[in-house]
Amino acid sequence: MTAAAFDRQSLHSMIDLRTFKGRFESLYGQSPRVFSAPGRVNLIGEHTDYNDGFVLPIAVEQRTFVAAAPRPDTRVIVRSLTLGQTVEFELYQPGPTRRGSWLDYVEGTGCALLERAFPLSGANLLIDSEVPAGAGLSASAALEVAVGYALAALGGTPNPDRLQLALAGQSAEHAYVGTRCGIMDQYISALALRDHALQIDCRSLAYEAIPLRLGTACVLICDTQVKHELAFSAYNERRQQCEDGVREIARQYPAVRALRDVSVAELEGLAPRLPELIARRCRHVINENARTMAAARALKAGKLGHLGRLMSASHASLRDDYEVSCIELDEAVAAIEGEPGVYGSRMTGGGFGGCTVSVLEREVVPRAMRAISERLRSRFQIEPRFFTTNAAAGVAEE
C-alpha cells in the first residue's frame, strides 16, 4: 500500500456530521450544536508535565464530537455512540467519584466548570469519537475538553477560555477519575493550532507555537493495541517518586520546587546522594526537559535528523531510567530504528502500552508499517493499527 493510499484509507473513519446531527435529532427531538476536540500525540517531553517541565505535543486529526442542546432543568443526559451507553447526572448534586466508568470524565468536567464559576444549565448530549479509546492518544482528554466546551457554550459562555477548559478537564481526572495526570493532554486538545506543535511550559502554562514543517517526512503513529494493567497505578507511583526526589534535592537546594528547577549538570553532582531508583527517575525527567527544548529548536530549524535522535534518546530513557515502556513498544521502535528514511521513533504518552510515534520520510511509511507489523505479529501475535497525521486544531464549534 502506498503512503497516499494509506492516507485516504485512514480518512474513512471520519464521522459524518450530517448523520451525527440526524441521530441526535431522532434521539432527543431537538436540533443540536456540535463541538469537537482532538486527541493528541506527544512528539517528545514525556512525564515532564507534572514536573513543571516542557512538552511538545500536536493534536491529531481524530476528534471526539459532542452534539448538544439545552434542557429546561439541571440534568445532563449523555449518550455515547461508541459505547452504546447512556449516563446522566444532576449538575448541582454531584454523584460519587471514581465509579470507574466514563461518567467520571463527563460529570467530573461539569463539576470542575461549576467550581470555576462557569454558568451551566442542563443539557442533552450525544458523543461519538474517532479517537481510539485506550490507545494512549488521549481519548479521555478529548472527551473532557469537548464536553467542557459544549456545557460552557450552552450555559451562555460564547467563547470559553481554552486554558480554563483544559484545567477543568485535568481537575476531572484528579478528582473524579483518580489519575494525578499533568496538563499536557487537556492543554493540547483545547489550545492546539493547525500545522503547529506546541512547546508548552507546564509551569507558566504559556506555549510557543512551532510550525510542523516536515517537508517530505511525516508523523506515523503505531497503536500496538496493548494496554498493561500497571498503567494506572504506575503513573501515580512515578509522580510520587519525582516528588520524593524533589524533597531530597530541596534539602541541599531549597529553591528547588520541581525537577524543572534542576539542571543536568546539577543532577550529576546530586545523583550519588539520592537512592538509586529515585536518581534514575530524576535523571529521566531532567534530561527529557533538556531534550524537549532541543527538539523544539531542531524542529524550528528543520533539522529532522537531530529531532529524530532526541526522540530515540527519549525512548531509551523512558525504557531504562523511567521504566514505563514495555516489550511490545520497545519492539515496535526497534523494528524501524536506524532504517533508511526513519529519523526517530519512541513510545508516546503515559506508557505500558499504547502508541509509538515516529518521524520518517513519507516514502518509507509502507515499509515501516510492514516491518513493525511483522515484528509484533511474529513475537506477540499483535496486529497494530497505524495512522499518519497532520497537526490539527484544538477544540471548536463545528
Based on CB atoms, which residue is closest to ligand GLA, 189 or 358? 189
- Which residues, 6+ apart, have CB-to-CB distance to 288 below 8 Å? 44, 45, 46, 47, 48, 53, 314, 317
Minimum CB distance to ligand GLA, residue 123 (Å)? 26
Nearer to ligand GLA, 259 or 364 (CB): 259
| Strand spans (E) along 71-215 | 75-80, 85-90, 123-129, 196-201, 206-211
Does residue 349 interact with ligand GLA by CB under 6 A?
yes
Nearer to ligand GLA (CB atom), residue 144 or residue 361: 144
Q: How many CA atoms lie within 13 A of 231 on its CB side?
A: 17
Q: Which of 125, 145, 168, 181 binds ligand GLA (CB under 6 A)?
A: 181
**CB nearer ligand GLA, residue 106 or residue 177:** 177
Provide CB contacts within 8 A for 91, sequence distance 6+: 74, 75, 76, 110, 114, 120, 121, 122
- CA-CA distance, 265 to 276, in Å (whole number)? 17
Q: Does 350 bind ligand GLA (CB under 6 A)?
A: yes
Q: Is 182 in the site for ligand GLA (CB under 6 A)?
A: yes
For the chain, how many residues are written?
398
Is position 185 an interface residue for ligand GLA (rule: CB under 6 A)?
A: yes
Whether the Cβ atoms of residue 42 and residue 55 lie closer than 8 Å to each other: yes
Residue 226 neighbours by CB distance under 10 Å: 21
Distance CA 111, CA 121 (A): 12
Using the rule CB under 6 A, give the single segment among 42-50, 117-125, 299-307, 330-338 that binds ligand GLA.
42-50
184 binds ligand GLA (CB under 6 A): yes
50 binds ligand GLA (CB under 6 A): yes
Give, for 120, the enclosing helix (H) or strand (E).
none
Q: Whole-number minimum distance, CB 181 to ligand GLA, in Å?
A: 3
Active-site option among 52, 128, 185, 223: 185
Question: Is 128 a residue of the active site?
Answer: no
List residues binding ligand GLA (CB under 6 A): 46-47, 49-50, 181-182, 184-185, 349-350
Which residues are catalytic, by number?
185
